[in-house]
Amino acid sequence: MKNKYLKGAHLSERKFKEILRLFAEDLTATQIANISGVSRVTVNSYLKKIRQQIARHCESLLPAESHYRPAAPVRSVQHHASSAEEGDVSVKTEVGRNVKPVVFGIYRCSDRLHTEILPDVSRSMIHSVVRSSRSILEMQSAAEKIRRFSNVVDLGQYRLYNLENEGAVSIADDVDAFWGLTKHRLAKFKGLNRSTVYLHLKECEFRYNNRNEDIYETLLELLKTQPLSLS
pLDDT in tens, the chain (231 residues): 678 888 877 888 999 999 999 999 999 999 999 999 999 999 999 999 999 999 999 999 988 763 434 333 333 344 555 443 333 444 554 434 445 678 999 999 888 999 999 888 888 887 776 666 455 554 455 456 677 788 899 988 889 988 765 544 568 889 999 999 998 888 777 666 777 899 999 999 999 999 999 999 999 999 999 999 876
Using alpha carbons, select from 17, 53, 88 the residue that is nearest to residue 199: 53
What strands lie across the sheet with 112-117, from one edge to the other?
74-81, 159-165, 151-154, 103-109, 112-117
Q: CA torsion sign, 65 to 70 to 76 to 78? A: negative
Task: Write 219-224 long-range contacts (CB < 8 A, 24+).
Answer: 219/20, 219/23, 219/24, 219/50, 219/54, 220/5, 220/17, 220/20, 222/53, 222/54, 222/57, 223/5, 223/6, 223/20, 223/50, 223/53, 224/4, 224/5
Judge if pTM exceeds 0.95.
no
